[in-house]
């Protein structure tokens, strides 16, 4: 059975930062990450990718984008080709974040097409899934997430080029966090869906938790079974907080 992966702590800067503060934040993260065991990635807005890439060059911090188009190239004003993201130094690209699903009407099929385009360009897609508060309250969280995993991870995916992030929509930016039992149940269900597809190789797929991860709750969340790191929003905008979350990841 494959070894469980080194935890990955990825910072999704969302639509924040300008050039100078983005460069400074990236440099601070790069310097601070060196002594830490976890893997790190930062995902700035697309226009900042070259600046941030330069700031983290030679460090252990990987570069990620926040979205890509499903098509390889063409007339898609304002969008970004996965190949361009790779060309500017990205290792990862987030696809299917709930803010994209909500703001841009992205369906599981669209997310799967983006993940496929990302992998075809040599990127590792971070495929996001997560239930709404109404679905959580109705006890439908696990079923919703299982459906999203089945529909958003493309048929062509390979286990060694895939990250899944579980982000309950109601926990994002809210300060609310599911219980560790809830997180364990959903991550276990995601692992089972991946195992149905990839067999033993599913053990090597990182399943990140995202939603109000802070230095104060990181150790508890990152210690849950089947949690292989975190996708961090607000706390990734502060280097000390982001690094403290990475420092809380269990050694593997």
Ligand X SMILES: O=C[C@H](O)COP(=O)(O)O
Cα(116)–Cα(192) distance, integer angstroms: 21
Q: In the complex, what is the shortest distance from the CB of residue 127 to ligand X, in angstroms, rounded to a whole number?
A: 12
Q: Answer yes or no whether residue 32 interacts with ligand X by CB under 6 A.
A: no
Q: Does 234 bind ligand X (CB under 6 A)?
A: yes
CB of 52 to ligand X, least distance (A): 16
Catalytic (active site) residue 167: yes
Tell whether residue 239 is a contact of ligand X (CB under 6 A): no
CA distance 24 to 79: 26
Choose between 153 and 198: whose C-beta lies nearer to ligand X: 153
- Closest residue to ligand X in the complex (CB): 233
Burial class from Cβ neighbours inside 10 Å (0-12, 13-18, 19+) for residue 16 reads middle
Residues from 152 through 191 that contact ligand X (CB under 6 A): 167, 172-173
Q: Build a one-symbol-per-residue string for 78-107: x at contacts with ligand X by CB under 6 A, - elsewhere.
A: -------------------x----------
Query: Judged by CB under 6 A, does residue 210 bind ligand X?
Result: yes
CA distance 227 to 115: 21
Tell me, yes or no, if 97 is annotated catalytic.
Answer: yes
CB of 175 to ligand X, least distance (A): 8
Beta strands in 152-233 (DSSP E): 163-166, 206-210, 229-232
- Indicate the helix (H) or strand (E) that contains 29: helix 19-33
CB of 90 to ligand X, least distance (A): 16
Q: Identify the bridge partners of residue 80 per DSSP, sorted by sequence position.
A: none
To 5 degrees, how large is the angle CA 242–CA 248–CA 250? 135
Q: Which residue has the tokens 């899934």?
A: 129
Q: Binding residue per annotation — 12?
A: yes
Contact 124, 161 (CB under 8 A): yes
Q: Say whether 212 counts as a known binding-site residue.
A: yes
Q: Is 13 annotated as a binding residue?
A: yes
CA distance between the termini of the chain: 15
> 216 among the known binding-site residues?
no
Annotated binding site: 12-14, 173, 212, 233-234
List active site positions: 97, 167
Question: Which chain residues interact with ligand X by CB under 6 A?
Answer: 12, 97, 167, 172-173, 210-213, 231-235
């Amino acid at each position: 059975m494959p070894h469980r992966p080194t935890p990955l702590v990825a910072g999704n800067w969302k639509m924040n930062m300008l050039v100078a503060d983005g460069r400074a934040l990236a440099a601070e993260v790069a310097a601070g990450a060196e002594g830490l065991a976890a893997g790190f990635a930062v995902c700035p807005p697309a226009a900042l990718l070259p600046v941030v890439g330069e700031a983290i060059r030679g460090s252990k911090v990987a570069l990620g984008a926040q979205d890509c188009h499903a098509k390889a190239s063409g007339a898609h004003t304002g969008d970004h080709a996965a190949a361009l993201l790779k060309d500017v130094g990205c290792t990862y690209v987030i696809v299917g974040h709930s803010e994209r699903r909500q703001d841009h009407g992205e369906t599981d099929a669209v997310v799967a097409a983006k993940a496929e385009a990302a992998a075809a360009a040599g990127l590792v897609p971070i495929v996001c899934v997560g239930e709404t508060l109404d679905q959580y309250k109705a006890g439908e969280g696990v079923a919703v997430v299982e459906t999203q995993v089945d529909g958003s991870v493309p048929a062509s995916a390979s286990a060694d080029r895939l990250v899944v992030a579980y982000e309950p929509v109601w926990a994002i930016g809210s300060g609310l966090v599911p219980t560790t039992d809830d997180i364990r149940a959903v991550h276990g269900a995601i692992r089972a869906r991946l195992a149905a597809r990839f067999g033993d190789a599913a053990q090597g797929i990182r399943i990140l938790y995202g939603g109000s991860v802070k230095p104060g709750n990181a150790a508890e969340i990152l210690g849950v079974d089947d949690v292989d790191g975190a996708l961090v929003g607000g706390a990734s905008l502060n280097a000390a907080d982001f690094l403290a979350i990475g420092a809380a990841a269990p050694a593997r």
